[in-house]
Amino acid sequence: MDFSRLSFTALLVVAASTFPLLATATVPITPKCESGPRDMEYIYEHGAITRCFYSNLSLTQAYQAHRKARSDSNNLASMLIPGKDLKIENLGDTEMVEYVWKGNNDLHITQNFPGGITEFMFVADKTGTNVTEIAHPD
């Protein structure tokens, strides 16, 4: 085998071995989000509300994307078990986090902190998953 043929074969092997890495590279997930009023009177009465929509993602996929995007991701469980309710004490900065499934596509999470409560509602349908976060200060 001549040198140029060997070099070409090696190049094909390298290119073929990196293709699966390129093909499975993750595309950044950008949800569409909106926030409710931010004045303190409203927040004390109704909570600080943020709603996000993750297009074409299942509830578990949206949960992972939402958790990963948060600076306080250690306050949420790293894995979900669909349909299994759970309570976790002292997760991250929380006193307790409670996961309650209200159906296959409806998950409610309550985080209890020394300074208040944060609720998450994940509701999925065939178009994607809506995530509503409501932070209630003490």
Tell me the pTM: 0.78
Q: Give the position of tokens 């989000």.
A: 33
Domain residue ranges in the chain: 28-137
Name the pLDDT band for 27 (thresholds 50, 70, 90).
Answer: low
Q: Give the position of tokens 């060997």.
A: 6
Give CA angle at 107 (101, 111), nearest 5°. Answer: 100
For residue range 29-53, list pLDDT tens digits in order.
Answer: 889 999 999 899 999 999 999 999 9
The tokens for 92 are 């991250």
Sheet holding 32-35, edge to edge: 32-35, 48-55, 128-137, 116-125, 106-113, 96-103, 86-89
